[in-house]
Amino acid sequence: MKSKAAPHAPFASSLNASPNLDSNTIGKRSQACYSKGILQLYNGYGDIYRRQGKYRLALDYIERAKALAEEIGDQKAMQNAFKDLSRVYAATGQYELAYEARKRYDEIRYDRLNEKQVKDNERREIMYSDRKKQYEIERQQYE
């Protein structure tokens, strides 16, 4: 019996393998690497099929990538999945779905951007505080 999911894709059996392996069998770090690897494969196949105009296959792999990204909490992969969904929906004339996917892409993108800005600001504040402390220490040494 052939796999429905990936008759055109090499390594189809590994793509259909569940990324939810027993954590006793593999460590959490290995599990995360495995899941990210499968996620990248799904995303790659989705992108290839989209570029070839095989939109049904592209949607299948993009949806898999999106589901796995949600499961492991990978916001960047979620962002990419919604961007790719938007492209496929637009190419197939499903403009409302394309618009909704693009909105989700933008929401995640701006959330990630805001998160990065907050971290950058915190880093700058720490650096400023450290410099200020270092200056104060040096000033006291010269007194």
Digit-coded pLDDT (tens) for 103-118: 998 888 888 777 777 6
Greater pLDDT, 57 or 6: 57
Instruction: For the beta carbon of residue 143, count every other beta carbon within 10 angstroms.
Output: 4
The DSSP annotation for 29-41 comes to HHHHHHHHHHHHH
Greater pLDDT, 77 or 127: 77
70 within 8 A of 78, measured Cβ to Cβ: yes
The residue-averaged pLDDT of 81-98 equals 94
What pLDDT, on a 0 to 100 scale, did the predictor assign at position 8?
A: 46
Greater pLDDT, 72 or 124: 72
What pLDDT, on a 0 to 100 scale, did the predictor assign at position 7?
A: 44
39 within 8 A of 73, measured Cβ to Cβ: no
What pLDDT, on a 0 to 100 scale, did the predictor assign at position 65?
A: 94
pTM metric for this prediction: 0.60
Percent of the chain whose pLDDT exceeds 90: 40
The residue-averaged pLDDT of 81-91 equals 94
* 20-29 tens-digit pLDDT: 545 555 566 6
